[in-house]
Amino acid sequence: MNNKTNKKQEVKNVCSSCDSTNTIKWTKRKTQNRGMIQRYKCKDCGKYFTKDDGFFRMRNNPKKITCAIDLFYRGVSTRKVQEHFQSFYPHNSSNVTIYNWVVKYSKMISKFTDKIKINGGNEIQVDEVEYHRREKHNKGTKGVCKDWFIDSIDVKTRYMISCNYFKQRTTENINVVMKRAKYKTQGSVTTVTTDGFNAYIKSVKKTFGYNKKIHEFNVEHNVAIASQGDGFNIYIERLHNSLRERTKTFRGFHGSVESADSIMKGWEIFYNFIRKHQTLGCCPYQIATDLKLESSNKWLELIGMAKE
Q: How far is CA 130 from CA 145, 166, 262, 280, in A?
A: 10, 10, 17, 28
What is the rounded end-to-end Cα distance, in angstroms, of the chain? 35
232's CB contacts (< 8 A; 6+ apart) are: 224, 226
Per-residue pLDDT of 282-299, as tens digits, reads 999 999 999 999 999 999
Alpha-carbon span 257 to 253, nearest angstrom: 8
Distance between CA 225 and CA 235 in Å, rounded? 14
pLDDT confidence bin for 74, thresholds 50/70/90: very high
Residue 9 above 60 pLDDT?
A: no
* pLDDT tens digits along 182-200: 999 998 999 999 998 999 9
C-beta separation of 276 from 282 below 8 A: yes
CA distance 240 to 163: 12
Classified as helix, coil or strand, 215 is coil
Residue 282 phi, psi (nearest 5) = -155, 180
Domains recognised in the chain with CATH numbers: 10-51 (2.20.25), 54-116+291-308 (no CATH), 123-289 (3.30.420.10)
CB atoms within 10 A of CB 277: 17
Question: Rounded to whole angstroms, how far apart are CA atoms 99 and 94?
Answer: 9
CA–CA dist 305, 308 (Å, integer): 5
| pTM summary value | 0.85
CB–CB of 84/93 below 8 Å?
no
Confidence band of 24 (pLDDT split at 50, 70, 90)? confident
pLDDT category of residue 3 using cuts at 50, 70 and 90: very low
pLDDT digit string, tens, across residues 125-176 = 999 999 887 766 666 556 678 899 999 999 999 999 999 999 999 999 999 9
